[in-house]
Amino acid sequence: MKEAMIAAKKPAFSFKSALEQFLAFGSLILLIIFFSIASSNFFHFSNIVGILLSTAVIGVLALGSTFVIITGGIDLSVGTVMTLCSVMTGVFITTLGLPVYIGIIGGLLTGAVCGLISGIAISRFGIPPFIATLAMMMIAKGLALVISGTKPIYFTKSPVFMEISQGSLLGDLIPGFEVPNAVLIFFIAAIVGSVLLTRTIIGRYNFAIGSNEEATRLSGVNVRNWKIVIYTITGVFTGLAGILMASRLNSAQPSLGMGYELEAIAAVIIGGTSLSGGKGTIVGTVIGALIMSVLTNGLRILSVPQEWQTVVVGFVILLAVYVDNLRRRKA
Amino acid sequence: MEHPLVKMEGIVKNFAGVHALKECEFELRSGEVHALVGENGAGKSTMMKVLTGVYQKDQGSTFYKGKKVDITDTATAQKLGISMIHQELNLSQDLTVAQNIFIGREPRKAIRLFLDDKEMNRKTELLLKQMNLDISPTMKVSELTVAKQQMVEIIKAMSYESQVLIMDEPTAALSDSEIDDLFRMIEQLKLKGVGIVYISHRMAELKRITDRITVMRDGVYINTMQTADVSIDRIIAMMVGREIYQPAKSERNTGGKSETVLQVKGLMRRNTLQDISFSLQKGEILGIAGLIGAGRTELARAIFGADQIDAGEIFIHDQKVKITGPHQAVKHGIGYLSEDRKHLGCLLDMDVKTNVVLATMNDFTKGLGWINNNRISETSIKIVEELTVKTPSIGQKLKFLSGGNQQKVILGKWLTRDCDILIFDEPTRGIDIGAKSEIYKLLESLVAQGKSIIMISSELPEILRISHRIIVMCEGRITGEFNNDDDITQEQIMACATNRTSSAKTEREE
């Protein structure tokens, strides 16, 4: 009986989750095959690395967004908060001349504080996530401009900061395998995110809240506090994205960032996470982000104008959610 | 011979390898009320969902008026004239009666863009008159009582020219006089030749309104009988297939007066609770009786911290405690089983094991919040075995379990937490007789283990049967308290439950 209880669950479980991942993953592979055939320039080590590098920032933002979206919430502020984190890192390192690691911690903390404030506004003051994070989006945008004096902050005095994104630890270890650190950091962040979501109490409550917030509350779970924790986690990922961004551009650009939140949300949704909460995976989000980059990159190689690339991505989102709905209805 | 309205034969339906229906049959004639009874999980709803196209059968055939039909979706069923009145009503609260009835096929004016509200209200008026209903077409649905809303649903179904009407627990939320109105309506529908499938757990009603009864058990068709030829006891025996547990009165008077575990003093909450004081002893079942809206659920929620209180004190083991949220109530060892199991009690989209440990997740982590899945599995298997939860595995999502089994999983959650004080809010609502007696048995064994229980119930026989002490509520205050060892009657309790206000009371005394 005992063996049956657990055994019965295992094959069914892994098979189903494999199937759920397959759709997004399958489309990614199809896209890669398509572009490889369509253009000989696509499947080159340098181009693949380029795709991964361009995924890193949006990807890390999307990882953070996955957490709040699984609670049934949303965070519209991640784009501009990311910018604010870049600017704060710039202030610590360039303006105040502090060591690089302080700048990194400062950037992460800025993200955490923004997430914390959104979380408090949502769960203590009962402001809907959409509104609370919309407000945070504008606050962060404004603050980034005010603090930087609307001018970019360059990291010319600390060349090591650039290495965070553009250096290649892997390339140093394995000659010829020049994968930039930003990509490495993205994948490590994804693993950390996945472990948080599937193996820890934070993740379990994250799904419970998204599945039925009131029932979770009535089970004695301090839902308010956990939601604050989850928004703060999103903030930390946003901070990380901000550091990667600044390091990649070797400067903090205070006017960038607006609109990134929507691309991050798009990646999460293409990856199969439900906007109504309770369902989603980190692997899905990584694949979702990759699908978007592969599309943009492939279309560019095929000389499709940038404006049209955006149109295509829009249709892909519609298609992804439609296919996902079909699958759910069958299940 | 005339063909029956509906005939279903050899219906088989599996969910993920589990037999939900095994070779089931069902027949409905025109102008009859046909009861479909069975315990929760017996397959009644699944059978009806196959008929209405919500589920697809794996095997078997459905005949409609003698013709074999393939009902692939709900729209097909509706086109054929098969409608279902769900337990949860599907009306838009902010629209009027007429708007709800004609939703999706509103009468238009010559210029098709504009609605013809006059025509719509006239048609609705006509429909309402045919059924002798005193409802205005322009009233908002939110202003109607639940009973009236249900009638609007029935009218809506009839306006589609439905020949088959499936009613799922139609009387669950109705008062006696409202039930009379509903039955009058059913009689009229019968005269029109409509066939009605009547799903209910209330045996007395079946005797009163139905012509034939079909019994199902564990996904198997048992029998179909003329209602007039069969006794209630016989039906119950067929449904359950086993003895019904009935605690002897002497057995349950062991409620010790030794130790007060919970004391409530002067609890107030604006508009709902007024000056509530009572105490709960160790090892006793305290029944809270009253009519719907008397404030019993509100009292439970206030004690549990789900709603804030305006004044009053709560003592647990003689210690004054301040409960500002459910997480604190749980910390003090209080567990609450909500009346609204589906929305407030459990996570339907999550599996059995997650639901079992939801209140105790912290105990299943090894530092840094890392979850110990093996221990969660062990505990869940123990709970599933102890409470005999019927589930293929602990990885099964709760939405695939029957109501009684969901209730057991929720109870398992609080047992895992080792709560001393359990508040059961309508623990047997929507649960069939067999599972009911299991729940009673559980309550008995819980108090035998020294736990204390507050049980809210709208069924007086249930309260009288199982509680040691009874308090009665009316309009947010306590209007009566009884020891259940006296010979108290349902009438005495009802008198307290309808003891509207203090002014009314003095009037009666004068």
> In sequence order, what E strands does A213-327 have?
251-252
Q: For residue B273, how far is the Cα from the chain centroid?
A: 24
- The answer to the question of residue A6 being in a domain is no
Query: Residue B10 and residue B60: Cα distance in Å, rounded?
Result: 4
Chain A residues near residue B413 by CB distance under 8 angstroms: 219
DSSP assignment letter at B244: P
Q: Is residue A23 part of a domain?
A: no
B280 and B138 inside one domain: no
CATH number of the domain residue B310 falls in: 3.40.50.300
Task: Work out the minimum CA distance from B266 to partner chain A, whole angstroms.
Answer: 24
* Count of domains forming chain B: 3
B68: helix, coil or strand? strand
Specify the pairing of strand A153-154 against strand A251-252.
antiparallel
**Cross-chain CB nearest to A200 (options B16, B354, B371):** B371
Distance, CA of B78 to CA of B239 (rounded, Å): 30
Give bridge partners of residue B13 from the DSSP assignment: B21
Could you tell me the CATH number of the domain that includes residue A274? 1.10.3470
How many domains does one find in chain A? 1
In DSSP terms, which residues pair with B140 in a beta bridge? B96
Q: Could you tell me if residue B207 is inside a domain?
A: yes
The first and second tokens of residue B285, run together, are 């079942």
Which pLDDT does position B174 carry in this prediction? 75
Neighbours of A316 (CB within 10 A): 18
Q: Is residue A272 part of a domain?
A: yes
Asked whether residue A34 is assigned to any structural domain, the reply reads no
Complex confidence, ipTM: 0.79
**Which of these three, B366, B398, B418, is where a domain ends?**
B418
Distance from C-alpha of A138 to C-alpha of A118, rounded to nearest angstrom: 12
Helices (H), B433-486: 433-448, 460-466
pLDDT score for B131: 79
Coil/strand/helix, residue B468: coil
The reported pLDDT for the residue numbered B51 is: 93
Q: Are residues B437 and B395 in the same domain?
A: no
Q: How far apart are the first and last CA of chain A?
A: 27
Do both B323 and B355 map to the same domain? Answer: no
Could you tell me the pLDDT band of residue B496, with boundaries at 50, 70 and 90?
A: confident
Mark whether B33 and B174 lie in a shared domain.
yes
- B6-18 pLDDT, tens digit each: 999 999 988 766 6
Q: Is residue B254 part of a domain?
A: no
- Please name the member of B348, B393, B413 whose beta carbon is closest to the beta carbon of A5: B393
Query: Residue B205 — very low, low, confident or very high, per pLDDT cuts 50/70/90?
Result: confident
Check whether B40 has a pLDDT greater than 70.
no
**Is there a contact between B16 and A202 if contact means CB atoms under 8 Å apart?**
no
pLDDT digits (tens, 9 = 90+) for B257-273: 568 999 999 999 988 89
With CB atoms and an 8 Å threshold, state whether A219 touches B396: no
From start to end of chain A, where are the E strands?
153-154, 251-252
What integer pLDDT is reported at residue A148 of this predicted model? 95
Q: Do residues B426 and B308 share a domain?
A: yes
Please report, rounded to a whole number, the percentage of residues in chain B having pLDDT higher than 90: 39
Helix axis angle for B373-386 and B403-416, nearest 10°, is: 120
Q: How many CB atoms lie within 10 A of CB B232?
A: 11
- Determine the structural domain holding residue B320 and report its residue range: 259-333+420-510
**DSSP-derived pairing of the beta strands B285-290 and B452-456:** parallel
Interatomic CA distance for residues B326 and B334, integer angstroms: 9
Q: What is the model's pLDDT at position B17?
A: 64
Nearest Cα of chain B lies from the Cα of A223 at a distance, in angstroms, of 9
What phi and psi values does residue B42 have, to the nearest 5 degrees? -75, -20
Residues B35 and B147 reside in one and the same domain: yes
Q: Predicted confidence band at B247 (pLDDT cuts at 50, 70, 90)?
A: low
Q: What is the largest CA-CA distance in chain B?
A: 79
Q: Which of residues 362-381 of B touch A (CB under 8 A)?
A: 362, 365, 368-371, 377, 381
How many residues comprise chain A?
331
**Amino acid letter at B259?**
E
Strand partners, B62: B8, B69
Torsion of CA B319, B323, B327, B333, to 10 degrees: 30
Q: What percent of chain B has pLDDT over 70?
A: 91
In a shared domain, residues B482 and B347: no
For A162, other C-beta atoms within 10 Å of its C-beta total: 18
User: Is there a domain that residue A28 lies in?
Assistant: no
Of residues A244 and B174, more confidence is placed in A244
- Which 8-state DSSP code applies to residue B283? T
Q: Which two tokens stand for residue A84?
A: 């604010």
B250 found inside a domain: no
Q: Can you state the angle between helices A306-330 and A260-270, rounded to 10 degrees? A: 40
Q: Report, as an integer, the average pLDDT of B191-205.
A: 86
B275, B379: one domain: no
Contacts of A4 in chain B (CB under 8 A): 393
Nearest residue of B to residue A195, measured between CA atoms: B370
Query: Is-contact A161 A155, C-beta < 8 A?
Result: yes
Residue A220, chain B, CB below 8 Å: the answer is yes
Mean pLDDT by 10 residues, chain A (331 residues): 48 52 82 92 91 95 97 96 97 94 96 98 96 97 96 92 90 87 96 94 93 92 95 98 95 93 93 88 94 93 90 88 73 52
Regarding whether B22 and B11 lie in a shared domain, the answer is: yes
- Domain-terminating residue out of B390, B418, B446: B418
What do you get for the CA distance between the two ends of chain B, in Å? 66
pLDDT class of B248 with cuts at 50, 70, 90: very low
| Res B86: pLDDT | 81
Lowest mean pLDDT of B165-174, B183-192, B282-291, B470-479, name the range. B165-174
Q: Is residue B460 over pLDDT 80?
A: no
The verdict on residue B468 lying in a domain is yes
Q: Which band of pLDDT confidence, cut at 50, 70 and 90, is reported for residue B46?
A: confident
Identify any residues that bridge with B82 across adjacent strands, giving them in sequence order.
B164
Per-residue confidence (pLDDT) for residue A317, from 0 to 100: 85
List A residues 264-303 in contact with B (Cβ-Cβ < 8 A): 278-279
- Residue A3 lies inside a defined structural domain of this protein: no
**Phi-psi bin for B193: left (phi > 0), alpha (psi -120 to 50), beta?**
left
Residue ending a domain, among B240, B267, B294, is B240
Q: Has residue B130 been placed in a domain?
A: yes
Q: What is the pLDDT of residues B152-164, one digit of tens each?
A: 988 888 888 889 9
Rounded CA-CA distance B390/B407 in Å is 11
B396 domain residue, yes or no: yes
Q: What angle do CA A308, A310, A311 make, to 5 degrees?
A: 65
Whole-angstrom CA distances from B27 to A2, B45, B76, B212, B225 are: 41, 15, 19, 10, 11
Does A13 sit within 8 Å of B369, measured CB to CB?
A: no
Closest to A162 measured CA to CA, from A244, A255, A253, A241: A244
Name the residue of chain B whose CA is nearest to A207's CA: B350
Q: Is A148 contained in some domain?
A: yes
Q: What is the pLDDT of residues B56-110, one digit of tens each?
A: 999 999 999 999 999 988 888 988 999 988 877 788 888 899 998 888 788 888 8
In a domain, A25, yes or no: no
Radius of gyration of chain B (CA): 25
Residues B351 and B450 grouped into a single domain: no
Q: What confidence tens digit (pLDDT) does each residue in B395-453 have?
A: 999 988 887 888 889 999 999 998 999 999 988 877 777 777 888 888 888 899 889 99
Query: What is the domain extent for residue A251?
Result: 51-330
The pair phi, psi for residue B94, each rounded to 5°, is -90, 0
Map B108-145 to HEC letters. ECCCCCCECHHHHHHHHHHHHHHCCCCCCCCCEHHHCC
Residues B96 and B176 in one domain: yes
For residues B36 and B49, state if they share a domain: yes
